[in-house]
Structure 1
Amino acid sequence: MPTNPTYSVPRESHILLHDGILSNPLHTPFLPPEIKDAAKSIEFIGSSEPSIPINWRFAESISAIKGFQAAMLNVLLKKKYGVEYQKVVINTDHAQLFIMSVMLPVIDPLGAKIRLSDREGWYKYYPDGDKHHVLDGGNFVSASTNIYKTKDGRFFHLHGSLNAVPIQRALSLSSPPASEGSLSFTDACSLYQTAISQYTASELESLMDDTHRQAGTTCWSTTEYLSSPHGKANAHVGLYEVHHIPSTYSPKAQEPMWWTPFGLSEAPHEAPLKTSARRPLLGLKVLDLTRIIASPTITRELAELGASVLRITSPNVPDMTALLADLGWGKWNAHLDLTRLPDRERLRALILESDVVVDGYRPGVMEKWGFGKEDILTMFEGKKKGVVYVRENCYGWNGPWMGRSGWQQISDANCGVSLEFGRAMGNDEPVTPIFPNSDYCTGVAGATGVLQALLERAEKGGSFVVDVALNYYSQWLINTCSTYPPQIWDQLWEAYDRPILRHTDNMGVTLYPLIKKLTENPLGARIFNPDFFELRENKAIGVPIQTVKPILGFPEGVVELGYNIGSRGNGVDEARWPEDLLTEIIKV
C-alpha cells in the first residue's frame, strides 16, 4: 500500500477523540468539564496507513476510545490523588491488537507454547465450560451462527449462542444422519439455508426473538436502523449513559465518597500497594456477573487499573472458558448456584460489600433471581455508600428490542455494519466484520463510564447506573467514526489482493485465516511487533502467558498498568472478598 500523505491513522484517531467523542453533543453535556484539558496530554503515534482489511475505521475507533478512557483517568488522577494530567502515548498499531486479543495468548510460551487452537492443551489450564459444545461441536453447530437469505430476499443473522439446539428445533432441523465430522461446512450451511428460505425476515424475527427468545436479527442497512423505532429510541445515547440515583432514605445515606481500600498494609516495605496514582483503582471492589467478551472487558479494564474483581459464575451455566486466558486477568473466580437460597444470600452479601457491580447477562435474567437493577439499588438504600451498577446488553436500554438477546455479530448486523462491509467488497449482501471489534470497544467504553460514575459519586453521593450496549458503540461507529475514504479503502483492499467474503463466511471461517494473512502481509505484520507483547507470570495456573501489553503508555512512570492476580478457570476461588489484599496478591 503506497504511503498516502493525506491520511494518517494517528492523526485521525486524535481528531476522532477530540471531535467525535469529547465535542460530540451526545457526550459533551454529560462529561466532566475538565476532560478536554485532561485529553490534551494524550499523544497518538503509529503507522499512517491502516493495517486490517476492513472498510470500517476500526484502528481509529479503538485508539480514540482508549484515548477517551485515558482522559477520564487523568481527571480521576487529579481529583483523587492531586496528580497533574499525565502524558499518555497510544500507538495505533499496538491498539489494533486489542480487538483481536482473544486470539493471541500463548500459554507456557517458553515450554509447550499452547495456542487457542489447541483445545486439549488449553483446557488443561482453563477447564472447558462449553457445556453444549458450541466451539467444538462440528460444522452443523458452527453453521448455526451465520447469515442466510430469507424468503423475501432479505438476509437474517442467526446465532446459535451458547446452545444451538433451541434454534435448530425452532427451524425443525436435526443433526444429519451422517456423522458431524464428515459434514462439510458448506453442506451444513445449505441445511440452514433451506430452512431459513421458508420464512420472511419479519417472520424469523418473530420466531427467534419473540417465540423462542433466541438471538437473531434482520441485517438492516445503516439508514434502516437509524430510521427504525428502535434506532430513534436510542439516538440520544453516545457510547454510554451515566444515571445518578440520589438516595431518598436520609441525608446521611450514600454520602459523597471515594471507595474505601481494604486490607492495605501501612508497613513501609509494602507502601507500593497503598492506594495511590500508581495503581489508581487499588482497593475498589468490582463484582463481575458477566460472560463472553464485552462485559468481561469492562471488568478486566478496571482490574488493569488496580481494582479487585471477583467474578461469579454458576457451575450449571455454560461459559466460553477458552476466553479466560485473555479476559480473566486480575479476577478472582468463584462459583455460586443461584437456584440455592444460601448462594443467593452469599451473592447479596458480596454485592453489599462492592463498589461496582457489572451485569452482562440478558435483560431479565438476574431479575429472576432478585438481582436486577432495581433490586441492587434497593439493597443500598440507607447504606453509607452508594453503588455503581453497570448493565451491558446488545440492543440498548430503550426501544422495542431492548430485551432481546444479542451478540457482537447481531449488533453488527442490526446496525448496518455488516451490510456496509459486504458492499465494500462489491456484493449487496451483509458480511460479519472481522474480529469482535464491537465487543472490545464496548468494553472500553463501559469501563470509561465506570470511571466517570466514580468521579460523580465522589462529588454527589448516591448510586449510579451505567448503561452500556453493543448498539451504542455500533451506532457511534456508523454515525461518527464511519468508513475509510474510498481511495484509502481501495488501496488497503488491494494490498491484501482484494479478498471477497460472502454472507455465510462467519467468524469461524475468517478468524484464523485472517490472522495468518495479517502476519504474512507487510501492513498487518507491523501490528505484531514483539514490543507490543509481554510475558506475564500467572501463579494461578502455574505457567506464564504471553499476551498483549496494555495499550495506554505512561512514559513518566506515575501510573503502572497491570493485574494484581493472574487469570484462572471458573470456580477456583471462594466466593468472598479477601480480608487481606496483600496476602491474597502474594498467594495467587
Structure 2
Amino acid sequence: MSRIDMTANQQLPNSHVAPQEACYSVSNNANRALKILLQASQSELPTEFFRYSKDVVFDGRSTTGDSVCFPCPLRQQEACAALKALEGCAVAAIADLQRKKCYRKIIVSLEQVTCFLMSAYITTLDGLDKSNPKIRDRLPDTDLHDAQSILYRRLSAGLYETRNAGVFYHIHGSLDASTTLSMIGLPPFLPGLTDYGQCIKTIESSVKRFSTSELELRNQRFRQAGVAALTQEQYRETPHGRTLNSLPPYTIRSLEESTPPIPFEGQENRAERYQCLRGIRVIELCRVIAGPTIGRSLAAHGASVLKVTSPQIPDVPFFQLDVNFGKHATSLHLKDPADRAIFDALLVTADVIIDGYRPGVIARLGYSPEVLALKAAQRRRGVIYVAEDCFGGSGVPGAEWSGRAGWQQIADCVTGVAWEQGSFMGLNEPVVPPFPMSDYGTGSLGTIIALAGIYRRAIQGGSWICHCSLSQYNLFLLSLGSYPTEVQDELRRLHDPRFFELRHSDSVDEVGKRALHSIRRLHPRLFTDSVMQSTYSAGFDGIVRWPREALDVDGLRIGHVRATRPNGFDNPTWEGWEEDKTLLDA
C-alpha cells in the first residue's frame, strides 16, 4: 500500500489539523510528536533523558511502517511512537549509569508500534484470536460474573443515546454487569435475549428513559463507571477538563527523601547486550490492559514483575494472554490475613508498585503510597509507586472527577476522542475508536514514569509517586491534532465500507473486528513473522503468537524471557523464576 499523497490542506478556524506535507509520513510526524512530548515533559522527567532524543530513529522504511493504518482521524501511531522513543531515552539513560557509552542509537519500529496498539486483537493461542468462540474453552474462567461471556451483559458496557436526542452516555457494567443493568431498570439476566441487535435495542431503550444528569446521579449512587460523551470543547469547559489540560501527561513527586540512592549493581560483568532492569522487582496490582501493559514493558527491560490478582475479583480472560508476557502471576486476596502476610513479605524487597485500580482502593487495604514510603524508609531502600487510573488529577485541586471509576471507553468518551471518531466516519454522533489504543498508550506513559522513578532513586534516593491516566494520554493524543483532510479522505476511501456502517451503539468488539478485517486486507505485512513472534506457553498449554517489541537500543536487549501465563499461575515468591533467553533472539 503506497503512502497517502496529499494536496494543499486548508486550515479552518479553531481546527486542530497540523501543517501539511507533500506526502504524509508517519515517521516525520512521530518526530514532531516526540518534540511536543518532550516539551510537555520538561517539569517531570530527569534532564538526562532529554539528551538522548537526538539519537532516536523512527523506522518507517517499509511502506506499511510509514503509512497511516487505522481508520481513525487521530494520530495514534505517531503518539505511541513518540512514547516508545521516550521510553528508549529512559532506558538509555539508565544503561549509561551502568555502563557509559558514547552513543546509543534508539530505533522505534513503526510497524511494531502499530501492532502494539492492537495487540489484544492480534495475539493468538494456537491460531485462535479474541473473536474466535473456541478460545473460551482454552482460557481459565476469570469472568466470574459472566460480564464478558453473555452478550446481553457484555453490552451493558456501551454508548447509548439518552432521552435528549443527540446526547449520548456511555454506561459501563465494568466486570459485573448486574448493577448497571439494574440501575437503568433492566434485569441482570435475560436468558432469551441473545440477538446482538435486539440486545442493543433493549438496553438503549432503557437508557433513553433518562437524561444525562439523571444518569450521572444514578452513577454516583450505585458507584458505577459511566460518563456523558463530550466533545473536546465541552470537556475543556468542565472544571476537571480545565485542570487536566493544565497538567503534563504525567506527574512525578517525591514521597520521602530520607532513603539513600540505590545504584544499579553488577551490570559490568554481564554480556555485551543486556536487559537494564535486571534485579528490579515489581509488584503489579492491576487488571485488564493499561496497568498490566506497564508491567509487561518493564519485564521487557528485565525487571522481575509479579502480577498479583485476587481469585475473588474478575478479570477479562483473553487479555491475560496479551499482557502477562514476561511476568509471574500469582493469586492473593488482600483481605485475607494469611495472604496479607505473604504479600507483606513480597513487599520487603519490592522496588516498584503498579496500582491500576480506582484511586483509593489499594489505600483502603492498608497499602497507600504513604504507608509504603514509610516501610521503604524503615528498610532504607526507596520505593516507586506508579498509579494509573481513568480520569487523572488525583490530589490536584479542581480535578473533581479524579476519584471516579473508569475504563478506556469512558476516557475516550469524556475527553472528546469518541466524537472525533464519529465525525470522521461521517456521523453526527460519537463512536468509540477501534482497539484499546488509549489503554496501550497509557501503559506507555506509565512505563516512562516508572523508569523515571527508578532513575531518580538511583541518583537522588528517596521514594517517588508517579501518576498517569487514560484521560491524560488522550489529551496528549488530541494535542497532536487530527490528520489533514486529504489523509482522512483517503482513509475513508481505502478502508472497508462496512466499517463506516457502524453506529454509536455498536460494541467495541464489533468496531475492533471490522477495523481489523480492513487492516488485514490493506496491510498484510503487519501480521507476518517479521513483526510477530511465537513460543509455547505452559500456562495456556499452546503456541502463543504476539507482536515483537517496538524498541531497540544500542547495547541493550529488549524482550521477554518468560512466556505469558494466566493470572494466578505462579507461587507468590521472588525465588526460582524460570527463564528462556532464546525468546530474546527469536
Give yes or no for TM over 0.5. yes
1:33 alignment partner in structure 2: 47
1:255 alignment partner in structure 2: 260
1:301 alignment partner in structure 2: 297
* Secondary structure of the corresponding residue to residue 43 of structure 2: helix
> Distance between the aligned counterparts of 1:408 and 1:149, measured in 2?
19
Residue 254 of structure 1 and its aligned partner are, at CA, apart by 1.2
Task: Give deviations 1:543-582, integer Å, cap 9, x for gaps.
Answer: 432211110134x5x211121322111222111111x55x
Q: Which amino acid aligns with 2:157?
A: T
1:376 to 356, 372, 375: 372
1:145 alignment partner in structure 2: 157
How is 1:518-557 mapped onto 2 (pairs within 5 angstroms)? 518-521=519-522, 524-554=523-553, 556=554
Check whether the contact 2:44–2:250 (CA below 8 A) recurs between aligned residues: no
Residue 119 of structure 1 and its aligned partner are, at CA, apart by 4.9
> Distance between the aligned counterparts of 1:258 and 1:159, measured in 2?
44
Task: Give deviations 1:468-511, integer Å, cap 9, x for gaps.
Answer: 11011011111x22210111111111112552431112212112
Is 1:22–2:38 an aligned residue pair?
yes
2:557 alignment partner in structure 1: 560
Residue 106 of structure 1 and its aligned partner are, at CA, apart by 2.4
CA gap of 1:194–1:536, structure 2 versus 1, over 3 A, is same
> Distance between the aligned counterparts of 2:355 and 2:317, measured in 1?
18
How is 1:316-465 mapped onto 2 (pairs within 5 angstroms)? 316-396=312-392, 397=394, 398=396, 399-465=399-465
* Secondary structure of the corresponding residue to residue 465 of structure 1: strand
> Distance between the aligned counterparts of 2:191 and 2:467, measured in 1?
46
* Secondary structure of the corresponding residue to residue 546 of structure 2: strand
Q: Greater shift after overlay, 289-298 or 324-333? A: 324-333
Q: Which amino acid aligns with 1:496?
A: H
Check whether the contact 1:91–1:551 (CA below 8 A) recurs between aligned residues: yes
2:226 alignment partner in structure 1: 216
Q: Which amino acid aligns with 2:326?
A: G
Check whether the contact 2:384–2:450 (CA below 8 A) recurs between aligned residues: yes
Check whether the contact 1:358–1:391 (CA below 8 A) recurs between aligned residues: yes
How is 1:128-143 mapped onto 2 (pairs within 5 angstroms)? 128-138=141-151, 140-143=152-155
1:12 to 21, 25, 29: 29
CA gap of 1:324–1:175, structure 2 versus 1, over 3 A, is closer
Task: Give deviations 1:15-35, integer Å, cap 9, x for gaps.
Answer: 1112x11123xx113322233
Task: Give deviations 1:224-247, integer Å, cap 9, x for gaps.
Answer: 112210112222322211112233
> Distance between the aligned counterparts of 2:363 and 2:24, measured in 1?
48
Check whether the contact 2:433–2:511 (CA below 8 A) recurs between aligned residues: no
2:16 alignment partner in structure 1: none
Q: Which amino acid aligns with 1:149?
A: E
Check whether the contact 2:193–2:199 (CA below 8 A) recurs between aligned residues: no
CA gap of 1:443–1:43, structure 2 versus 1, over 3 A, is same
Is 1:572–2:569 an aligned residue pair?
yes
How is 1:63-82 mapped onto 2 (pairs within 5 angstroms)? 63-82=81-100
Residue 379 of structure 1 and its aligned partner are, at CA, apart by 2.0
Residue 134 of structure 1 and its aligned partner are, at CA, apart by 2.1
> Distance between the aligned counterparts of 2:201 and 2:505, measured in 1?
10
Structure 1 gaps of 5+ residues are: 248-252
> Distance between the aligned counterparts of 1:204 and 1:537, measured in 2?
47
> Distance between the aligned counterparts of 1:221 and 1:403, measured in 2?
22
* Secondary structure of the corresponding residue to residue 220 of structure 1: coil
> Distance between the aligned counterparts of 2:280 and 2:160, measured in 1?
45
Check whether the contact 2:307–2:330 (CA below 8 A) recurs between aligned residues: yes
* Secondary structure of the corresponding residue to residue 34 of structure 1: helix
Check whether the contact 1:413–1:432 (CA below 8 A) recurs between aligned residues: yes
* Secondary structure of the corresponding residue to residue 452 of structure 2: helix
1:155 alignment partner in structure 2: 168
Residue 352 of structure 1 and its aligned partner are, at CA, apart by 2.3
Check whether the contact 1:142–1:508 (CA below 8 A) recurs between aligned residues: no
Check whether the contact 2:538–2:565 (CA below 8 A) recurs between aligned residues: no
Q: Which amino acid aligns with 1:236?
A: S
Residue 260 of structure 1 and its aligned partner are, at CA, apart by 5.8
Q: Greater shift after overlay, 126-135 or 78-87? A: 78-87
Task: Give deviations 1:213-232, integer Å, cap 9, x for gaps.
Answer: 11100001101112210112
* Secondary structure of the corresponding residue to residue 401 of structure 1: coil
* Secondary structure of the corresponding residue to residue 353 of structure 1: coil
Q: Which amino acid aligns with 2:27?
A: P
2:67 alignment partner in structure 1: 49
Check whether the contact 2:159–2:168 (CA below 8 A) recurs between aligned residues: yes
TM-score normalised by length of structure 1: 0.89
Q: Greater shift after overlay, 279-288 or 525-534? A: 525-534
CA gap of 1:573–1:177, structure 2 versus 1, over 3 A, is closer
Residue 383 of structure 1 and its aligned partner are, at CA, apart by 2.2
> Distance between the aligned counterparts of 2:510 and 2:537, measured in 1?
31
CA gap of 1:387–1:41, structure 2 versus 1, over 3 A, is same
> Distance between the aligned counterparts of 2:336 and 2:327, measured in 1?
24
Residue 364 of structure 1 and its aligned partner are, at CA, apart by 2.1
Q: Which amino acid aligns with 1:511?
A: G
Residue 3 of structure 1 and its aligned partner are, at CA, apart by 3.2
1:3 alignment partner in structure 2: 5
How is 1:577-588 mapped onto 2 (pairs within 5 angstroms)? 577-578=574-575, 580=576
CA gap of 1:105–1:574, structure 2 versus 1, over 3 A, is same
Residue 353 of structure 1 and its aligned partner are, at CA, apart by 1.3
2:196 alignment partner in structure 1: 185
Q: Which amino acid aligns with 2:570?
A: D
Identity of aligned residues (%): 29
2:279 to 277, 283, 287: 283
Structure 2 gaps of 5+ residues are: 7-21
2:244 alignment partner in structure 1: 234
Is 1:103–2:121 an aligned residue pair?
yes
CA gap of 1:123–1:576, structure 2 versus 1, over 3 A, is farther
Q: Number of residue pairs matched?
A: 555
> Distance between the aligned counterparts of 2:327 and 2:49, measured in 1?
29
> Distance between the aligned counterparts of 1:76 and 1:87, measured in 2?
14
Task: Give deviations 1:315-354, integer Å, cap 9, x for gaps.
Answer: 1111113112211011111111222112112212212210
Task: Give deviations 1:132-181, integer Å, cap 9, x for gaps.
Answer: 1222112x113211111112331101112101101011111016766233
Q: Which amino acid aligns with 1:572?
A: F
Task: Give deviations 1:81-123, integer Å, cap 9, x for gaps.
Answer: 2133421222323211101111112224xxxx33333454454
* Secondary structure of the corresponding residue to residue 79 of structure 1: helix
Cα RMSD, aligned residues only? 2.3
